[in-house]
Structure 1
Amino acid sequence: MMDLDKIIASLRDGKHIPEETVFRLCLNSQELLMNEGNVTQVDTPVTICGDIHGQLHDLLTLFEKSGGVEKTRYIFLGDFVDRGFYSLESFLLLLCYKLRYPDRITLIRGNHETRQITKVYGFYDEVVRKYGNSNVWRYCCEVFDYLSLGAIINNSIFCVHGGLSPDMTTVDEIRTIDRKQEVPHEGAMCDLLWSDPEDVDTWSLSPRGAGFLFGKREVDQFLEKNNVQLIARAHQLVMEGYKEMFDGGLVTVWSAPNYCYRCGNVAAVLKIDDDLNREYTIFEAVQAQNEVGNAIIPTKKSQMDYFL
């Protein structure tokens, strides 16, 4: 048996985890995640967290400011890796918490939890730099394939990384997707991870090159058809940490403060209580992590700079 508490302590300190330990962590996580549906049922009270992007010190602040996983239930909306300097430690810490407290933490797949994207935006390079090979990256990518595509809180709040899809308009349809694969370039699974809300009249092409832009009409139709009150999603940098749109029918939550160590934004998490009231907690970047920003880590550039 692995000593999870010991591994958690090491990860929180940003210490090196042996490759064999990562392999076992990832294998155990797959076995656990395999039994979860595409859309995980979650009870209140729960705290919703947006993109983390490898900012380990800020993830620790997030737990500190919002109660901690020992006594709080969490949903993380994906994008655990890339951009930040501690993608591996951030992702493995969340996996350890998932294994240690399976009912207290729900992990949803983001558009960065893919082989293709992590090869461009930093996670692959980070692992090769830390281990001298890509094995650990491979183990993590296999876990990505098992992550849920969404969550539903008290049958009333739908959580997803990106947004809606014209191909699937009900939560029940989303439950039928074969999620155990690399994210396709089009179709419903792609849209859930890539789409964005925007003031548009109808489905429009996304400048990201994947997913769609969708407006109030699509949100209202989805809420009514699925008898839910709110869509909670992440995926887009919000300078104030969160942004409600469409008469409060949709909220974007962003949990990576001073994104990329230079954006100057604050971060937020959203607590939903038993009466479905919303309470936002705002937090700022940790100084210790900003100092890491002096170490320049090369990442390959591509034409897809729409993530910022």
Structure 2
Amino acid sequence: MGDVDKWIEIVKECKYLPENELRKLCDMVCDILLEETNILPVSTPVTVCGDIHGQIIDEEILCVHGGLSPEIITLDQIRTIERNGEIPYKGAFCDLVWSDPEDMEYWGQSPRGAGWLFGHNVTKDFMAINNLDLICRAHQLVNEGIKYMFDGKLVTVWSAPNYCYRCGNVAAILSFETAQQRTTKIFLAVPDDERVIPKQNTTPYFL
């Protein structure tokens, strides 16, 4: 076990955790997440940031990473997916991570080479079967930070401003007071001259 409070203080100072400490943190997080179900019930009020997924809010709003799958009809099928492992290159698990909405009716081939493009009718049918009011997702850069599609039934929330320091996009978070009452906050990246940059001799992770 590690000292979580100490790690938080290190990160607040814009410093990297030592690699052995980061490994301990990742192991702790994995153990916690493996105990959770694939869809975790969450009650409002709640704030959705990009790439938060695997939740159902007040039994009316499904939060997923990517999108839908032709192999998935009901939420119960999502609950049975074995997720302890690498994401496969095809199948329901892959689709939930990599699929994207598109201005079409049904299914299409994804240019990503994984997952699918899914359209208005696919979304409408899935929501009717599962009694959902909204599908909330991330995974896909939108320059305006938030983008509604399919008559407002699906929303993409992107919370990384100026993605990769070069896209120039704004970002958003979506706050729910109730399943029906929500507010959007748009924000910009911190200007370069105001950013705290870690020392250059510090080696980042995951090179």
Same fold (TM over 0.5): yes
2:159 is the counterpart of 1:255: yes
Matching residue of 1:86: none
- Name which of 198, 209, 214 aligns with 2:118: 214
Change in 2 beyond 3 A, CA 1:185/1:5: same
Matching residue of 2:189: 285
- Name which of 244, 248, 253 aligns with 2:148: 244
Aligned AA (2:27):
L
Equivalence map 1:132-211=2 (5 Å): 150-211=54-115
Residue 290 of structure 1 deviates from its aligned partner by 6.8
CA contact (8 A) 1:162 1:234 kept: yes
3-state secondary structure, aligned to 1:193: helix
Instruction: Quote the Cα distance in structure 2 between the aligned partners of 1:31 and 1:261.
Output: 33
Residue 19 of structure 1 deviates from its aligned partner by 2.6
Give the structure with the larger strand fraction. 2
Aligned AA (1:190):
C
Instruction: Quote the Cα distance in structure 2 between the aligned partners of 1:242 and 1:48.
Output: 11
Matching residue of 1:49: 49
Matched residue pairs, number? 198
Instruction: Quote the Cα distance in structure 1 between the aligned partners of 2:144 and 2:58.
Output: 27
CA contact (8 A) 1:205 1:213 kept: yes
Structure 1 unaligned segments of length 5 or more: list them.
51-75, 78-107, 109-149, 296-308
Aligned AA (1:173):
Q
2:175 is the counterpart of 1:268: no
Residue 291 of structure 1 deviates from its aligned partner by 8.6
Residue 156 of structure 1 deviates from its aligned partner by 0.4
Matching residue of 1:234: 138
Q: RMSD in angstroms over aligned alpha carbons?
A: 1.9
Spell out, residue by residue over 1:263-306, the C-alpha distance to the aligned partner (whole angstroms, 9 max, x if none).
111000000112531210000001248796xx9xxxxxxxxxxx
Structure 1 moving runs of 4+ over 2 Å:
288-292
Equivalence map 1:30-109=2 (5 Å): 30-50=30-50, 76-77=51-52, 108=53
CA contact (8 A) 1:261 1:290 kept: no
Instruction: Quote the Cα distance in structure 2 between the aligned partners of 1:290 and 1:186.
Output: 40
Matching residue of 1:100: none
Aligned AA (1:266):
V
CA contact (8 A) 2:107 2:117 kept: yes
- Aligned-pair identity (%): 53
3-state secondary structure, aligned to 1:269: strand
CA contact (8 A) 2:106 2:118 kept: yes
Structure 2 unaligned segments of length 5 or more: list them.
201-207
Residue 41 of structure 1 deviates from its aligned partner by 1.0
Spell out, residue by residue over 1:153-205, the C-alpha distance to the aligned partner (whole angstroms, 9 max, x if none).
11100000110000011111000011101000000000000001001121100
